[in-house]
Amino acid sequence: MSPLATTEEKAIAAINAAEAMAISNVQLIRELKKIIPKPFDSLTDVAVQTNTSGIRMVAKAERGAVRTASKAVRTSRKNLSKALREANARLRKKNGQLKKGKTQADVMKLAQRLKKKM
């Protein structure tokens, strides 16, 4: 996974990894079926098929639930990031402490006002 991957890409990669792990567990059950006595053999086949299709269905639904951020949201986030840098620069001393009488709430309020002007 690239360090520059978006949150959506990371979520989909995690879902894909979970799906692969679950299906490999079902395949392990299929291999262990050889040890199970013959009368229960047919039950195992049905369970393996049901679990595999169920896992794929859930993973597909989860991938569909991952929403990508719209262009407006991405732009807004980027502007807020710039505004926060500016607000911190204005309201902090050179050593990094907040100026006297200022709080983090003041920094966020100023950042929101600066973002609105962008």
Q: Which pLDDT tens digit goes with each residue over 24-54? A: 877 777 777 777 767 666 666 666 777 777 8
Domain ranges in the chain are 7-65, 71-117
Burial 38-76 (b: 16+ CB within 10 A, else e): eeeeeeeeeeeeebbeebeeebeebeeeeeeeeeeeeee
Rounded Cα gap, residues 91 and 107, in angstroms: 7
Average pLDDT score over residue span 79-95? 94
Return the bridge partners of 92, or none. 98
Contact between 91 and 98 (Cβ < 8 Å): yes
Contact between 114 and 86 (Cβ < 8 Å): yes
Nearest to 22 by CA among 67, 46, 52: 52
Is residue 16 very low, low, confident or very high in pLDDT (cuts 50, 70, 90)? Answer: confident
CA distances from 19 to 6, 25, 31 (A): 20, 10, 19
| Statement: residue 77 has pLDDT above 70 | yes
Rounded Cα gap, residues 28 and 51, in angstroms: 12
Tokens read off for 8: 């959506």
